[in-house]
Chains A and B, each alone.
Chain A
Amino acid sequence: MSRLVLSSGELRILEGLRLNPRKSFSGRVRGERLTKKKGVSIEFADYREYSEGDDLRHLDWNVLARLEHAVVKTYRDEEDLAVHLLLDVSASMSFGEPSKLDYAKRLACAFAYVALAGGDAVYPRAVGARQQPAAALRGRSSFPRVAMWATGLAPEGTQALSSDLRAFASTGSRPGLAVIVTDAMDRDAAQGVRILAGRGHEVCVVQVLSEVELRPDLEGDLRLLDVEGRGAVEITANSITLKAYADSLALHNASLAEECLRMGGRYTLVVAGTPLDQVVKNVFKREGWVAA
């Protein structure tokens, strides 16, 4: 994997794109993104009575001269967007060729690049493993740090996704766009999404699955061991069993997607290995995840 995770060609594709959240969030520093807070910007919001101490630069002189009533203009403030980049590094992400984690890193970096280029604050965080959250990164110049962070991650975690999302929600982090790149191999993944959304985050789930999960090539009498240590199952891998597995996976994915959409978020399923430009074009752009 390259040091920057993404190739220059892929970065060119991402150039000019901005994250397009469904709702607005308050920022901490002035940024390039409008908020509901009235502030100083070039975009007019409303009038209000002048009060002492108001910046006279915002006094509407025309109204004062015509009506002899002092009002000041208020403007929509432009602040940065908190983009929580939650990358699943649980052991299950090691499956597939390429591994789901490698592919997820590229997706996460793509999101980070778009966010940083758009002036948003990126909060990278690994879920599924106990890791200290990284500091907020701002500006395009911070992308190498994101890439370095992603490169250093390994699929070693055994934490359930839902419990990590619950823990993240309880930290009181700044509400923003929570982009979760995960395989969602947790029975309670939808519950974690619901909790996270309940804390004001707009949850966008990118579920990355490999071919071996979508169409497992198993045969015979097997004991299946959960890579994250959540028990074992004895099966006879035949057509009936594989059909039951496929049905169960589809139901699980559907419940996750439904929960995301119901909470005002987004959901998409990406097969590991799909070219990034196709994902950007066919999913992120078409479904409005990003805007030019």
Chain B
Amino acid sequence: MSFQNAAALLWLIPLGGIIVALYILRMRRKDVLVPATFLWPERTDEVRANALFQRLRFSWLLVLQLLAMSLFVLALARPQTLQRGLAGTTTVVVLDASASMGATDAKPTRFDAAVEIVRGMIASANAGDQLMLIEAGPSPRVVFPLSSDPAAQRRALQAVRRSDAPSDIEEALRLATARVGEVDGSKIVLLSDGVFNEVENFASGKAELVYHKLGTQRKNVAIEALGSTEGPDGRIVYCGVKNHALDESRVEITILADGEPINSEVATIASNKTWGRTFPAPPGVKVIEARINSDDILSADDYAVTVIDPGASLRVLLVSPGDIFLERALSLDPRVTLDKASEVPESERAGTAGTGSYDVVVFDGAQETAVKARGVLTFGMAGASSGVVSLGRSPSFDFLRADEHDVMRGVNLRGVYIENVERVTAKPAGRVVAEGSSGPLIVVSETDKRQVFVGFSPLDSDFPLQTGFPIFVANALDYLAGSTVSDSFAILAGQQFQLPASTDQPATLTGPDGGATRVEPLQGRYIVSGVDRVGTYALQAGDREVTVYAQLRDDLESSVNSQDFVSIKKNKVAAVSDLRRYSDFWKPLALLALLVLGVEWWMYARRS
């Protein structure tokens, strides 16, 4: 036990002294004449006014008064005891549900150990303590809101689930602050291994941020790279395996082509080094998988997959000064491997040597130039190679109509606010699919390549805020990619993606563990989320079955290097080493003091 205000204990001396002095001082009593004194017993109990000293006599009232005074002073000293649990009176727990929390250096996993801590916090919470839990996965989720209902909290806790993806800790912390940032004495408890990027945009407000570290080891070997490329002698598969451990590791690497092993070897990899191999892919193979077998603590990154099917991947180059909306919309396509650049690399320009690396180039806020890619999507600034001819710019624009076209399926531009439109006229090969008061708005053209021109930049409109925007981007990618549509995709675990829906019927997503979920179509597309564990998923949509391979490709997560400090806005927050917390108990003491005073009053009244 310790005291928050130990100096208050000094009050014991003067207050106790005063009470005792009142008892040892002789009372100045009222004189009363009586016929005889021999009938009266000598009996004095109370002290009111005093004059001279007298001998201190035992009195229960004195004992009770001293006891009550001591209890009050003890309560003033704010005694506290160490109790198990991190929670305070108002606590938001941010539970890191990232891939690295699946490391088994804490038994059974870091994540399970963290859940056990939360369970302990619920159990040890005092009556009235409010607790909230946020699951920090790829998208933060409130598991249970701020409440003091342990039964409901325990029920909700059973639904927490770890992902095999990086977590958005920053967003989760912001969510926590939004709830308790203005509450005095509140706490935000981060249960994590600290394996995440620096949190740059977060302020805890009045809440105290407490970081509890989970995990102690970094013994992990991960498949760092798996891909294929077309070589002079056919398709070449490359595989890279990195040892994140502090010691060298012995690893067995197995490569499978369409499920059949084509290579297996054992490698010894030094600490922090990468092992790499290339080997020819069998002709006609569609899916290459790599598995490693090692004595490491994280299994999610022991598997990787790449789909060689041309329709399964779409390499996209985004030429833009920066447009987060467009980046996200592009990333929703499971085929897309997105690169960003401020200008078109020389090797990708039309007329230069070699074949281009990208299937589609997207111009946003940059003038379209001729490229080697087979598809071009341009927002706002037409070039010489565009399917339109620029006529200048118009400050305002009103949407008039849209044609039936695959690019416009499920997209409604009516009511979209657009400004600073490039006035264009379509070239002969171009087809206007959307038109406004100033002329063509969206033009598609198909010559030696497919092109889509949009007369405005997304950031010059509120189109990115409309549900039709990601659908339009997906439609455009489908159009630009041509007819090469694959039924196999490889995505990162936790990634949300969308696929065209040919019917209005819901699709069924079956996970690696056999669990199935329904996916409702939305404006002609299935928006699929929840693919957050590594493995093979099957999406059954009518007659079409799409196989989705989810994998973890994240060097930071694979490092599993639990951190003693987490970096919050350049500040280091140290991990707490003790799971216990100080718990005040001045309130029961004050109540006990009142009770003792009550007993003292009762004794006094009974005697009077």
A92 and chain B: residue at smallest CB distance = B35
**Cβ of B58 < 8 Å from any Cβ of A?**
no
Give 1 or 0 for each of A249-269: 1 = CB within 8 Å of chain B CB.
100100000000000000000
Contact yes or no, A226 B36, CB < 8 A: yes
Q: How far is the CA of A230 from the CA of B39 in the complex (A)?
A: 12
**Cβ of A274 < 8 Å from any Cβ of B?**
no
Give 1 or 0 for each of A225-263: 1 = CB within 8 Å of chain B CB.
111101111111011110011001100100000000000
**Cβ of B41 < 8 Å from any Cβ of A?**
yes
Known: A224-B34, A225-B33, A233-B37. A239 touches B607 (CB 8 A): yes
Q: How far is the CA of A222 from the CA of B258 in the complex (A)?
A: 108
- Say which residue of A95, A218, A231 sits within 8 Å of B37 (CB atoms): A231
Cβ < 8 Å to A, chain B residues 9-58: 27, 29-46, 48
B604 and chain A: residue at smallest CB distance = A238
**Cβ of A213 < 8 Å from any Cβ of B?**
yes
**Cβ of B201 < 8 Å from any Cβ of A?**
no
**Cβ of B608 < 8 Å from any Cβ of A?**
yes
Name the prevailing secondary structure of the B interface residues. Answer: loop
Contact yes or no, B32 A238, CB < 8 A: no
Q: Which of B29, B30, B36 has the most CB of A within 10 A?
A: B36
- Say which residue of B27, B41, B44 sits within 8 Å of A245 (CB atoms): B41
- Say which residue of A187, A216, A234, A239 sits within 8 Å of B38 (CB atoms): A187
Q: How far is the CA of A277 from the CA of B40 in the complex (A)?
A: 33
**Cβ of A183 < 8 Å from any Cβ of B?**
yes
Chain A contact residues, CB within 8 Å of chain B: 92, 95, 183, 185-187, 213, 216, 218-228, 230-236, 238-241, 244-245, 248-249, 252
Q: Which of B27, B31, B35, B45 has the most CB of A within 10 A?
A: B35
Q: How far is the CA of A240 from the CA of B60 in the complex (A)?
A: 15
Q: What are 21 A-B contacts defined by CB distance under 8 Å?
A: A92-B35, A216-B34, A221-B27, A221-B44, A222-B29, A222-B30, A223-B30, A225-B31, A226-B36, A232-B37, A235-B42, A235-B44, A238-B607, A240-B43, A241-B40, A241-B41, A241-B43, A245-B39, A245-B41, A248-B39, A248-B40
Contact yes or no, A224 B27, CB < 8 A: no
Give 1 or 0 for each of B314-353: 1 = CB within 8 Å of chain A CB.
0000000000000000000000000000000000000000
Q: How far is the CA of A238 from the CA of B44 in the complex (A)?
A: 10
Contact yes or no, B37 A224, CB < 8 A: yes
Residues of chain B within 8 A (CB-CB) of A231 are 37
Residues of chain B within 8 A (CB-CB) of A240 are 43, 607
Q: How far is the CA of A82 from the CA of B37 in the complex (A)?
A: 35
Chain B: how many interface residues by the 8 Å CB criterion?
Answer: 23
Residues of chain A within 8 A (CB-CB) of B30 are 220-223
- Say which residue of B36, B38, B41 sits within 8 Å of A235 (CB atoms): B41
Known: A236-B45, A238-B607, A240-B607. A223 touches B31 (CB 8 A): yes
Q: How far is the CA of A245 from the CA of B42 in the complex (A)?
A: 10
Q: How far is the CA of A216 from the CA of B44 in the complex (A)?
A: 17
Contact yes or no, A221 B32, CB < 8 A: no
- Say which residue of A95, A228, A235, A239 sits within 8 Å of B608 (CB atoms): A239
Give 1 or 0 for each of B496-537: 1 = CB within 8 Å of chain A CB.
000000000000000000000000000000000000000000
B34 and chain A: residue at smallest CB distance = A224
Question: Taking the nearest CB of chain A, how far is it from the CB of B407, in angstroms?
Answer: 100
Contact yes or no, B40 A235, CB < 8 A: yes
Contact yes or no, B35 A236, CB < 8 A: no
List 12 additional contacts besides A219-B608, A226-B37; criterion CB under 8 Å.
A185-B36, A222-B31, A224-B32, A224-B33, A225-B34, A230-B36, A231-B37, A236-B46, A239-B606, A241-B40, A244-B43, A248-B39
Q: How far is the CA of A187 from the CA of B37 in the complex (A)?
A: 10
Known: A221-B27, A238-B608. A226 touches B34 (CB 8 A): yes
Residues of chain A within 8 A (CB-CB) of B41 are 233, 235, 241, 244-245, 248
Known: A221-B48, A238-B608, A239-B607. A233 touches B42 (CB 8 A): yes
Q: How far is the CA of A247 from the CA of B48 in the complex (A)?
A: 27
Q: How far is the CA of A216 from the CA of B46 in the complex (A)?
A: 20
Question: Taking the nearest CB of chain B, how far is it from the CB of A162, in angstroms?
Answer: 12
Q: How far is the CA of A249 from the CA of B41 in the complex (A)?
A: 11
Q: How far is the CA of A240 from the CA of B39 in the complex (A)?
A: 14
Residues of chain B within 8 A (CB-CB) of A230 are 36-38
Q: How far is the CA of A28 from the CA of B37 in the complex (A)?
A: 43
Question: Taking the nearest CB of chain A, how far is it from the CB of B491, in angstroms?
Answer: 88
B27 and chain A: residue at smallest CB distance = A221
Question: Taking the nearest CB of chain A, how far is it from the CB of B445, in angstroms?
Answer: 110
Contact yes or no, B34 A236, CB < 8 A: no
Contact yes or no, B37 A225, CB < 8 A: yes
Q: Which of B27, B29, B37, B38 has the most CB of A within 10 A?
A: B37
Residues of chain B within 8 A (CB-CB) of A92 are 35-36
- Say which residue of B32, B606, B607 sits within 8 Å of A218 (CB atoms): B32
Contact yes or no, A234 B35, CB < 8 A: no
Q: How far is the CA of A235 from the CA of B32 in the complex (A)?
A: 11
Residues of chain A within 8 A (CB-CB) of B38 are 187, 226, 230
Contact yes or no, A221 B42, CB < 8 A: no
Known: A185-B35, A218-B32, A234-B29. A224 touches B40 (CB 8 A): yes
Residues of chain B within 8 A (CB-CB) of A187 are 36, 38
Residues of chain A within 8 A (CB-CB) of B45 are 236, 238
Q: How far is the CA of A228 from the CA of B27 in the complex (A)?
A: 24
Shortest 3 CB-CB contacts between residues of A and residues of B? A92-B35, A185-B36, A223-B29
Residues of chain A within 8 A (CB-CB) of B43 are 235-236, 240-241, 244
- Say which residue of B27, B35, B44, B607 sits within 8 Å of A95 (CB atoms): B35
- Say which residue of A219, A223, A225, A252 sits within 8 Å of B39 (CB atoms): A252
Question: Taking the nearest CB of chain A, how far is it from the CB of B240, in angstroms?
Answer: 94
Question: Taking the nearest CB of chain B, how far is it from the CB of A271, in angstroms?
Answer: 14
- Say which residue of A186, A223, A234 sits within 8 Å of B36 (CB atoms): A186
Cβ < 8 Å to A, chain B residues 371-409: none
Residues of chain A within 8 A (CB-CB) of B27 are 221, 234
Question: Taking the nearest CB of chain A, how far is it from the CB of B327, in angstroms?
Answer: 88
B36 and chain A: residue at smallest CB distance = A185
Question: Taking the nearest CB of chain A, how far is it from the CB of B45, in angstroms?
Answer: 5
Residues of chain A within 8 A (CB-CB) of B34 are 95, 216, 224-227
Residues of chain A within 8 A (CB-CB) of B36 are 92, 185-187, 226-228, 230
Residues of chain B within 8 A (CB-CB) of A216 are 34
Q: How far is the CA of A3 from the CA of B303 in the complex (A)?
A: 131
- Say which residue of A95, A183, A221, A223 sits within 8 Å of B46 (CB atoms): A221
Residues of chain A within 8 A (CB-CB) of B35 are 92, 95, 183, 185, 213, 226-227
Q: How far is the CA of A165 from the CA of B284 in the complex (A)?
A: 144
B29 and chain A: residue at smallest CB distance = A223
Contact yes or no, B39 A234, CB < 8 A: no
Q: How far is the CA of A248 from the CA of B34 in the complex (A)?
A: 15
Residues of chain B within 8 A (CB-CB) of A228 are 36
Residues of chain B within 8 A (CB-CB) of A225 are 31-34, 37
B30 and chain A: residue at smallest CB distance = A222
B43 and chain A: residue at smallest CB distance = A241
Residues of chain B within 8 A (CB-CB) of A185 are 35-36
Residues of chain B within 8 A (CB-CB) of A219 are 608
Q: How far is the CA of A249 from the CA of B38 in the complex (A)?
A: 9
Q: How far is the CA of A224 from the CA of B44 in the complex (A)?
A: 12
Question: Taking the nearest CB of chain B, how far is it from the CB of A120, in angstroms?
Answer: 31
Q: How far is the CA of A234 from the CA of B57 in the complex (A)?
A: 14
Contact yes or no, B44 A234, CB < 8 A: yes
B26 and chain A: residue at smallest CB distance = A234
A244 and chain B: residue at smallest CB distance = B41
Residues of chain A within 8 A (CB-CB) of B48 are 220-221
A246 and chain B: residue at smallest CB distance = B39
Question: Taking the nearest CB of chain B, how far is it from the CB of A6, in angstroms?
Answer: 25
